[in-house]
């Protein structure tokens, strides 16, 4: 169905059966046809220039030295919808807390696995007629989204266990929160790469990057060293059990293709590296 935003007048497509509709242009949230009041936002504190700087100076493994000279091409600010919950753990009142969880099943940028969004420092949201970014609609059920907060529940349980108290878990949906993330594109030697930066603090969340010839060579060298080491071990083991050493060496070489070797070999073979931030709070 088509919804008309009561604030900015824009019309947008809204799939039926959702609890909230979010205007992609101004962020006004509708719930059951009425403007939804409990909406918060994390204010972007990092501008486009700073976001590009963060990415191009980040220099992940095997990135070229002149990456900071790459050309910024596109920057778009995206607001991800989060559900805001008030979570309590009766009977321990002191454990009650606000927590947020991603409310969309298809975020516009790749996020680190089990990325945890903050709940503090949110401010009340006012819709804006300036085009500041793209607001995304929630499409997850709040109950389903809450399951991503398992860690919050585990922490409370661990705390309660110290005092030998058995706790329950209760939550209520308190509202919507928008979280700003920059989606960026830059060019390096005629090729385009994408990246994502947390617009609240400038953390690089995701980044594609060129792998330099030198980075590839170094990775190949490392891979060769690892393989040679493993082959030597294999030959030793073969001698010990009385196999022809050549056979043992081949076996050792293949067996050494563990996770670390694969990473190095991937770097050696690939032209595009991918960096994803580790999970964080």
Binding site residues, Zn ion, CB under 5 A: 5, 7-8, 10, 23, 25-26, 28
Closest approach, Cβ 11 to Zn ion, in A, equals 9
The alpha-helical segments, DSSP class H, found in 129-244 are: 142-146, 150-162, 213-241
7 vs 36 by CB, closer to Zn ion: 7
How many other C-beta atoms are found inside a 10 Å radius of the C-beta of residue 145?
22
160 DSSP β-pair partners: none
Nearest distance, CB of residue 108 and Zn ion, angstroms: 18
Cβ-Cβ contacts under 8 Å for 159 (sequence gap 6 or more):
92, 95
**Residue 8 vs 232, nearer CB to Zn ion:** 8
For Zn ion, give the closer residue by CB, 20 or 193.
20
Q: CB pairs under 8 A, 24+ apart, for 251-260?
A: 253/227, 255/230, 256/226, 256/227, 256/229, 256/230, 256/231, 260/226
Query: Across-strand partners of 90?
Result: none
Of 10 and 272, the one with the shorter C-beta distance to Zn ion is 10
* Residue 19 DSSP symbol: S
H-assigned helices in 91-212: 142-146, 150-162
Nearer to Zn ion (CB atom), residue 7 or residue 86? 7
Q: How far is the CB of 28 from Zn ion (least distance, A)?
A: 5
Least distance from Zn ion to the Cβ atom of residue 179, Å: 19
- Cβ at position 12, least distance to Zn ion in Å: 8
């Amino acid at each position: 169905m088509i919804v008309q935003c009561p604030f900015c007048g824009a019309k947008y497509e809204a799939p039926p059966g959702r609890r909230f509709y979010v205007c992609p242009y101004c962020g006004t949230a509708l719930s059951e046809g009425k403007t939804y009041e409990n909406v918060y936002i994390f204010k972007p504190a990092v501008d486009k220039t700073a976001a590009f700087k963060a990415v191009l100076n980040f220099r992940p493994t095997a990135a070229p030295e002149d990456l900071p000279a790459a050309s910024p091409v596109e920057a778009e600010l995206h607001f991800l919808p989060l559900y805001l919950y008030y979570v309590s753990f009766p009977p321990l009142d002191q454990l009650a807390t606000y927590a947020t969880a991603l409310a969309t099943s298809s975020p516009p940028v790749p996020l680190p696995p089990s990325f945890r969004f903050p709940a503090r420092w949110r401010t009340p949201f006012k819709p804006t007629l300036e085009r500041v970014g793209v607001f995304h609609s929630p499409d997850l059920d709040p109950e389903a989204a809450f399951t991503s907060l398992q860690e919050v529940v585990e922490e409370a349980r661990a705390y309660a266990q110290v005092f030998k108290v058995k706790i329950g878990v209760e939550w209520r949906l308190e509202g919507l929160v928008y979280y700003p993330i920059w989606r960026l594109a830059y060019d390096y030697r005629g090729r385009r790469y994408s990246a994502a930066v947390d617009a609240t603090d400038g953390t690089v969340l995701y980044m594609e990057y060129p792998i330099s010839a030198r980075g590839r060579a170094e990775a190949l060298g490392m891979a060769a060293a690892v393989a040679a080491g493993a082959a030597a071990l294999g030959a030793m083991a073969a001698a010990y059990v009385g196999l022809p050493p050549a056979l043992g060496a081949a076996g050792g070489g293949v067996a050494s293709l563990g996770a670390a070797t694969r990473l190095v070999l991937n770097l050696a073979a690939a032209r595009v590296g991918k960096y994803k931030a580790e999970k964080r709070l």
